[in-house]
Amino acid sequence: MTDANTRTVQENLTRQLHDSVERLQLQAEKVEFWATALTGFATPIAEYDPATSAVARYMKPGRPARKKHRRRMSNNASKAA
C-alpha cells in the first residue's frame, strides 16, 4: 500500500470510530434520561394534609372551604337572551 492509501484507510477508520463514539454518547444520554424518569416514578407520593398545605393559611381554622357559586343572570340579561 502507498502512503495515500494508508492515509485514506486511517481517515475512514477514524471517521467511523468518531461516529460510533457519538452514537454511543447519544445512547448513554437516553439511558440516563430514562433511568432518572423511572427513579422519579418509583418514589411514593407524599401524604397530603390540607391543614399543613400552603392554602391552609388563607382559611379560617375549623371552617370548610367555600364553594364558588355561579353568578345569576340579571333580569335584563335573561330577557335579552
Query: Is residue 81 one of the residues assigned to a domain?
Result: no
Whole-number Å distance between alpha carbons of 7 and 15: 12
- Among candidate residues 58, 77, 74, the one with its CA nearest the CA of residue 66: 58
Domain total of the chain = 1
| Contacts of 59 by beta carbon, 8 Å cutoff, 6+ apart | 65
Query: Is residue 37 one of the residues assigned to a domain?
Result: yes
Whole-number Å distance between alpha carbons of 71 and 77: 12
What is the arithmetic mean of pLDDT over 8-24?
Answer: 96
Query: Is residue 74 one of the residues assigned to a domain?
Result: no
Structural domain containing residue 12: 3-62
Query: Is residue 41 one of the residues assigned to a domain?
Result: yes
Contact predicate 65/59, CB 8 Å: yes
The predicted structure's pLDDT at residue 28: 97
Name the pTM for this structure.
0.45
Q: Give the tens place of pLDDT for each residue, 37-61.
A: 888 888 787 787 777 777 777 776 6
Query: Is residue 67 one of the residues assigned to a domain?
Result: no
Q: Give the tens place of pLDDT for each residue, 28-38.
A: 999 999 999 88
Query: Is residue 80 one of the residues assigned to a domain?
Result: no
Query: Is residue 31 one of the residues assigned to a domain?
Result: yes
Residue 50 to residues 5, 6, 61, Cα–Cα distance (Å): 75, 74, 11
Query: Is residue 71 one of the residues assigned to a domain?
Result: no
